[in-house]
Chains A and B, each alone.
Chain A
């Protein structure tokens, strides 16, 4: 009997031990004082790795160092991932309630489940206190749900076609005014064995920029937003036409061969190595074309940009209508153990970011910029000028859409570029997903 009792006791201790060890790993949530040095440890996750986003990485490093110097009792533990991994990891962490104290989030559809699911802390108090009238209009709203704001916007991006001036000059090409001109440029370049444009359609979103601009130019600047809001169907003839034009470009060899296997970074290489003449991308690439020390000065001088040309007979006749949107914003986790401190750091980060980003790194911040007396490359001044004169900025379709629809959109973009779907099927599958979403 005694033996039995002993065995039972041993069994219980074992079970408890197993249970505890199981728990401790899951309760080790964000912001715990790991090292026990008495300081507040804040976990900060961002997606600007040193290699591919040097300017961003360095700027963040600098701001963190200054913050730590000003707040000796705080240590910022940084984790850096590349964007795709970052997206995935954020979702995994959210599913287990372990978001970092401070992190970055994309706007609209991406942020919504986190915000409405109670993962992000509302930041209206911080915005009211520290950022009154500081943000570019429309940016904060992109992170707002049910009347509360959940992130401090850091970026504002619009999309251009960047091109290699030297290649254009060599074949006597000029910046296109109409889509027909653009096609002609493609024709001349392919005939001469130059790749007209590079695109990483494996990722879906870089390819989508071509589609979104064509939809904007053919169907008018509100058409994609209307689709999201259920006012227009994706099978609208204008949108199907846009998808068709994408495939026409594919057929004429406008894009680099095999692009459905290229990520955005792979594709970018073709432009940076001067193998492709054009690259449709957003202003987050500006540092690479102006200030980044990693890119040879020689190349930077060759880069020009033009606005996406208008389409003959299309409804979107205004060349100053852009596709773009707020990029990343800083969030604070609702479950953070040091929420106030985290908010304080987030505010500091975004504020300093706004001050230093243009001059130091050449990044367009979401806070207002006074260019007066700034020593920045001409391309920035031009872009800032364009933003001020923009008649419309359509937020990226996949940013506006829910994660469900966005993921499908990315898959379908790859399929459209790979000619695995017809434009009609492309539209129909979107409509089906949107209809299903609306039912929920």
Chain B
């Protein structure tokens, strides 16, 4: 084995296939997107080179920044919900009765496709016949909130199913990490007189902090490029109340046939996502 690994050609041979795949499937399309961003192109006809026009326009585009703000809000929301997931996982990992059943309950949403979840929640949020508003009306509220139809509320309404959708994924990872915390440490702490809260806060959480850092990055990046559920539920509306970066890009490129500008938006999304990841990594020092 040592012999093989000292042979540069062999190393190249092992690395190349996946390198090529990554190049062709990820880096080249990214480069192309940046390149298309320099074009005035309707996606069908001739491309026209217009230099940095699209990018200049992007910087002054109020809607782009508005949708960026929505994406950032979603990221903040997702990171905050991680705290909730952590608490749930801590409870599930301590030996309570029925923990197994609960774990399964949390994982079920993970098995559903985004579109199905979107349809389900559209029905739940329905202003007249939906589950929530039916309940409100039964309780005698005359004009219950309109959830998805109310521009001030629509954004937060779509956040709810997103958090719900990913709960299982995060809980299962945190749970797995918690299970691996050495039992001796916990026992030692207990003998020293620590209560359950102290054990969780001082021992369990610090020990799984590596996993938590990765999850924070996952949640932030995932939120910034989030698209499917929002697009199906509201299409970015009403107005642009739930527009996020990815849906804005999609609308520009495929809705308005501005492939050039859409590509510029996509490239902007990439830059913002990478920048954010870098900042978070610096803050959390995961590179150590």
Contact = CB atoms under 8 A, between A and B. Distances in A.
Given A7-B10, A95-B43, A261 B125 contact: yes
A400 interface: no
Given A91-B254, A258-B146, A202 B24 contact: no
Nearest to B10: A7
A56 interface: no
A11 B256 CA distance: 43
A8 B9 CA distance: 8
Interface string B113-150: 00000000010011110000000000000000011111
B239 A92 contact: no
Contacts of B148: 258, 260-261
Given A88-B254, A113-B44, A117-B44, A258 B127 contact: yes
Contact of B13 (A7, A117, A203): A7
Given A113-B44, A403-B255, A418 B238 contact: yes
B238 A404 contact: no
A98 B154 CA distance: 37
A260 B251 contact: no
Given A4-B9, A10-B13, A414 B146 contact: no
B222 interface: no
Given A202-B234, A258-B127, A116 B239 contact: no
Given A418-B151, A418-B239, A420-B239, A94 B17 contact: no
Contacts of B234: 202, 261
A236 interface: no
Given A117-B44, A202-B235, A420 B151 contact: yes
A261 B24 contact: no
Interface residues of A, number: 45
Contact of B256 (A114, A202, A260, A404): A404
A420 B241 contact: yes
Chain B binding surface, main DSSP class: loop
A415 B238 contact: yes
A236 to B, nearest CB: 23
Contact of A91 (B43, B126, B235): B43
B5 interface: no
A203 B236 CA distance: 11
B255 A260 contact: no
B112 to A, nearest CB: 19
B240 interface: yes
Given A15-B20, A261-B149, A118 B237 contact: no
A421 interface: yes
Contacts of A252: none
A257 interface: yes
Contacts of A203: 235
A8 to B, nearest CB: 8
B159 interface: no
A246 interface: no
A251 interface: no
A270 to B, nearest CB: 8
A202 B118 CA distance: 15
B4 to A, nearest CB: 12
Contacts of A10: 13
Nearest to B133: A258
Given A15-B20, A414-B239, A256 B257 contact: no
Given A113-B45, A414-B238, A260 B257 contact: no
B151 A11 contact: no
Given A91-B43, A407-B251, A408-B256, A256 B20 contact: no
Interface in A374-423: 402-404, 407-408, 411, 414-415, 417-418, 420-421
Contacts of A3: 7, 9
Contacts of B126: 258, 261, 266
Nearest to B157: A261
A262 B237 CA distance: 11
A377 B37 CA distance: 54
A196 B234 CA distance: 24
A47 B208 CA distance: 51
A411 B239 contact: yes
A290 interface: no
Given A261-B148, A420-B238, 11 more contacts: A3-B9, A18-B24, A94-B43, A95-B259, A114-B44, A257-B127, A258-B128, A260-B146, A261-B149, A266-B126, A414-B237
29 contacts: A3-B7, A7-B13, A18-B24, A22-B24, A91-B254, A94-B43, A94-B44, A95-B259, A113-B42, A113-B43, A117-B42, A202-B237, A257-B149, A260-B146, A261-B125, A261-B126, A261-B147, A261-B148, A262-B149, A402-B257, A403-B256, A407-B251, A408-B256, A414-B238, A415-B239, A418-B239, A420-B238, A420-B241, A421-B239
Shortest Cβ-Cβ A-B pairs, 3 listed: A258-B127, A117-B44, A415-B239
